[in-house]
Amino acid sequence: MRSPWIWTGLLLAAMAAGALSEPHRERAPLRIGEYQVLDADFHVHVHPWSWATLSPWDTVIEARRQGLDAFAMTGTNNIWTGKAGRWLARRMSGPTVLPAQEVHTPTYHMVAVGIHTAIDWRHTAAQAIEDIHRQGGVAIAAHPIARYWPGWDEAAMEKLDAAEVWQPIVYMRPESAIELREFHARKRLTAIGSSDYHGLLPMGICRTYVFARENTEQAILEALRAGRTVVYDRQRQSYGDPELIRLSAGVLPRAGGAPPSNLGTLFSGLCGVTGLLGLILAGFRR
Amino acid sequence: MLRPGSTYAGAAAATSDGGWWILLRGPLSIALAIACLISILTRGYLAPGLVAGGVIAWSFVPLAEVAGLAVVWRGRRSEITFATAVDLFFAGHAPLLLWLLASVIFWHSVDPQPPEIFRAWGLSLVPITAWSGYVDFQFLRHVAGMKRPGWCLFVQRAVCWTLFVAVFGGVSLWPGLLEELGVR
């Protein structure tokens, strides 16, 4: 079958089915004690400039679909994409977006959450953290595996607020899990679980439960500074504030992620793949 | 796809002269294909919003490719119009798009796999890059009639990939490069 119209028709059918059967999952806000427990992801990259697939507007929609209450839209060595995302999220009644930057240097990577101007990547880790704090932000060590440890000297460790203790790097390099735990245990650091989302694995696949007084940027930053987070790894091992882990036992981790597929989305996926395959082959032969 | 030389030789003779639609349909198809692939990768199905957003966000890819082609187009010896050339050039993207489709199905299906799978996926890029290069080499030789198709392919790739990496990676490029080179 060489006619591209058949394949185009399949693509249109796939889009119609996708639109009509888009699954939704409503989740009641979770409160434990005086805190609202927020599902958050503090390391979400966005297109352009950050090697990611989704644009800021699609990232906001996807975060909502993945059941995230808040996330840090993280530009690599830039902050403007995060600011654009926050602006969009406010108009789309999306999750709370915290503008962030992954300070990507040759010696360490750090997520600066809640800043308003970009951090110079030529800074040492200690200098970068000082700048982050001056702007009222929070400094999170991003995937601090052993190769980055030389970048985290004593001066930096003294000022550092938080560290990723669970993130997808462990899927590609299993020994990373031990290194992340060792780094996190160096001092009292806020525990962070992040997806380091670039588009391949699902957003929020590793997430942080934040115990905030409300779902606002300021309240989330305050909770991070105070260390009020809990993270669960794949084996349901918990990290974070021991008192909050005790309080939330049996409630966390709660079902997160995207809503399950249904017949309509399966049909859409099948038609989409078939339509694309046909168009690719027909296109070449035309 | 398997005999690009003879396919291109025939296609160059059979294709009409051009017009805006001929110029645009190849780049638009590629942008649409990428957007559909991103939707399947992200959700497993085609979400119209994601596809529309993807077309806008990823239209820079075919634009970068057209820019690369435009740079080498001066050296052509064939009579075909630029619009027709663009159309035929994008028709040669089948191997790359098939690889992307397979990758998207793979990545959407994996519930984090062992590291060996990641490496195997990375290695699969090598033959597909080589084959895509060969297809485009045949395009430059048979359709554009370039005197030095190898050199033209190199220049086209250099322009296209520079633009692609600048938009996709942006200001993280330099520190990333230093990190890879072990410069502290």
Distance (Å, rounded) from C-alpha A257 to C-alpha A255?
7
The per-residue pLDDT for range B137-165, each reduced to its tens digit, is 999 998 888 889 999 999 999 999 999 99
Which phi-psi region, left, alpha or beta, contains residue B19 (left: φ > 0; alpha: ψ -120 to 50)?
Answer: left
Distance (Å, rounded) from C-alpha B100 to C-alpha B37?
8
CA distances from B40 to A53, A61, A228, B47, B74 (A): 12, 15, 36, 8, 39
The DSSP output letter for B170 is G
Question: What average pLDDT is seen over chain A?
Answer: 93
List of chain B residues whose C-beta atoms are within 8 Å of the C-beta of residue A106: 175, 178-179, 182-184
Residue A76 near chain B (CB below 8 Å)? yes
- Chain B residue closest to A276 (CA)? B33
List of chain A residues whose C-beta atoms are within 8 Å of the C-beta of residue B179: 104-107
Who among A17, A168, A276 is closest to B33 (CB)? A276
Tell me the nearest-neighbour CA distance from B116 into chain A, angstroms.
8
pLDDT: is A27 or B94 the higher one? B94
List of chain A residues whose C-beta atoms are within 8 Å of the C-beta of residue B167: 48-49
Residue A211 amino acid letter: F
The confidence score (pLDDT) of residue A2 equals 56
Residue A280 near chain B (CB below 8 Å)? yes
Range from A219-223, B149-153, B176-180 carrying the lowest mean pLDDT: B176-180
| pLDDT-based confidence at residue A1 (cuts at 50, 70, 90) | very low
The per-residue pLDDT for range A226-236, each reduced to its tens digit, is 999 999 998 89
- Average pLDDT score over residue span A119-130: 96
Distance (Å, rounded) from C-alpha B69 to C-alpha B136?
10
Is the model's pLDDT at A212 over the cut of 70? Answer: yes
Q: Which of residues 175-194 of A touch B (CB under 8 A)?
A: none
Tell me the nearest-neighbour CA distance from A190 into chain B, angstroms.
25
The confidence score (pLDDT) of residue B111 equals 67
Range from A131-135, B42-46, B109-113 carrying the lowest mean pLDDT: B109-113
At B38, phi and psi to the nearest 5?
A: -65, -40
The confidence score (pLDDT) of residue B112 equals 64
The confidence score (pLDDT) of residue B152 equals 94
Q: What is the pTM of this model?
A: 0.91
The confidence score (pLDDT) of residue B119 equals 79
Any idea what the Cα angle at residue A223 is, between residues A217 and A227, rounded to 5°? 145
Q: Please judge whether A268 and B45 are an interchain contact, meaning their C-beta atoms are less than 8 angstroms apart.
A: yes
Is the model's pLDDT at A284 over the cut of 70? Answer: no
Q: Please judge whether B115 and A174 are an interchain contact, meaning their C-beta atoms are less than 8 angstroms apart.
A: yes
Q: Which of residues 93-152 of A touch B (CB under 8 A)?
A: 102, 104-107, 121, 150
Who among A266, A272, A284 is closest to B91 (CB)? A284
The confidence score (pLDDT) of residue B17 equals 65
Q: Strand, helix or coil at B145?
A: coil
Percent of the residues in chain B that have a pLDDT greater than 70, as a whole number: 90
Tell me the nearest-neighbour CA distance from B17 into chain A, angstroms.
15
By residue count, chain A amounts to: 286
CB count in 10 Å sphere of residue A26? 6
Is the model's pLDDT at A125 over the cut of 90? Answer: yes
Alpha helices in chain B (DSSP H): 4-14, 20-43, 48-58, 60-73, 82-91, 94-109, 115-123, 125-138, 149-169, 173-181
- Average pLDDT score over residue span A185-203: 94
- Average pLDDT score over residue span A16-42: 91
Question: What average pLDDT is seen over chain B?
Answer: 88
Q: Please judge whether B29 and A261 are an interchain contact, meaning their C-beta atoms are less than 8 angstroms apart.
A: no
